[in-house]
Amino acid sequence: MAPEKWNAIRASLRDTTERFAALVSAVPDPYVKATDTWTVADTVTHVTSVGWLDTVLIDPTAPPPPVPDLFERMKSMNVEDVHELNRVVLGSLTERGVEPLLDRLRESVAFMLDRTADRDPDETVTWIGGAQVTLAGLFGHMINELLLHGHDIATGAREPWDIPPRDASYFFGEFMVGLATHGLGHLLDGGGRPRERPISVEFRSAYTDPVVFRLVDGRTTAHPPSGVPDVRLTFDPAVFNMMLFGRTSRVKAVLTRKVTIGGRRPWLLPEFLRTVRVP
């Protein structure tokens, strides 16, 4: 990765954190619902917990979140278990004052930036289910947490919130591609009966390098584009992330042409997404 791109990702995390904090501080009632089940305060607790966890992944000597058996749980998890982990984490982190939570979030992000300043962004750390995430991917994941949950809070509080496509692109371009390149571990286990015949899906956007994900017998790997893929998916990163995480429908994403689908066998995309999925 070029130093300029790594610097841009780092700046995105720093700036998005401050935007998120400003949004939260502007909400008069932290107990208004941000989602069907979480208040604004709950949502900030969740986002803060992700940043706190990342500090330990980056530097195992950092103080861990006070969540019983957190890292043992993570070893055997897959994407289906993330909701239960979130429930356990929210039950263990009892602070709901948004200002102390934002202080903790800022502290975690500052730690992430400081402890990775001289490290290779392609260095990997072990994530849920033994998946290997690059440092750049970990940053991309954290940026996505801030952007998506910022959207939830803004919607609940009727405040404005923007998801810039460049910032959103780091989730797919660094996190998802990094996982498929370096190893998914058990993260995607449980996605249905493995298909022996390969499915190839090419992903293209104005903000990411083109890449082909190849699904064979339940295993997903990333490759440079070559030949004609089964599915070709062109996307706006902001809308694509919102679609992946259920903030907007697939139908709306396609009808607005923020996500377009082509290729020689586009009907294979739903089968691909049954395995290659997010929580």
User: 153: which residues sit within 8 A by CB, 6+ positions away?
Assistant: 23, 24, 27, 34, 40, 43, 44, 159, 161
Q: Which residues is 235 bridged to in the sheet?
A: 259
- As a whole number of Å, the CA-based R_g of the chain is 18
Q: Which part of the chain has CATH 1.20.120.450? A: 3-182
Residue 217 CB neighbours (<10 A): 9
Q: Which fold would CATH assign to domain 3-182? A: Four Helix Bundle (Hemerythrin (Met), subunit A) (1.20.120)
Q: Which part of the chain has CATH 3.30.1050.10? A: 199-275
Of 166, 175, 235, nearest to 202 by C-alpha is 235
Residue 9 near residue 140, CB atoms below 8 Å: yes
Of 172, 84, 59, 180, nearest to 131 by C-alpha is 180
Strands 199-205 and 231-235: parallel
Of 57, 25, 227, 200, nearest to 125 by C-alpha is 57
Q: What is the CATH number of domain 199-275?
A: 3.30.1050.10
User: 164: which residues sit within 8 A by CB, 6+ positions away?
Assistant: 238
Angle between helices 135-157 and 98-115 (to 10 degrees): 160
d(CA 260, CA 202): 12
Q: What is the pLDDT along the chain (279 residues), one digit of tens a residue?
A: 899 999 999 999 999 999 999 999 999 999 999 999 999 999 999 999 999 999 999 999 999 999 999 999 998 899 999 999 999 999 999 999 999 999 999 999 999 999 999 999 999 999 999 999 999 999 999 999 999 999 999 999 999 999 999 999 999 999 999 999 999 998 988 766 666 789 999 999 999 999 999 999 888 999 999 889 999 999 999 999 999 999 999 999 999 999 999 999 999 999 899 888 887
User: 222: which residues sit within 8 A by CB, 6+ positions away?
Assistant: 177, 180, 181, 211, 212, 213, 214
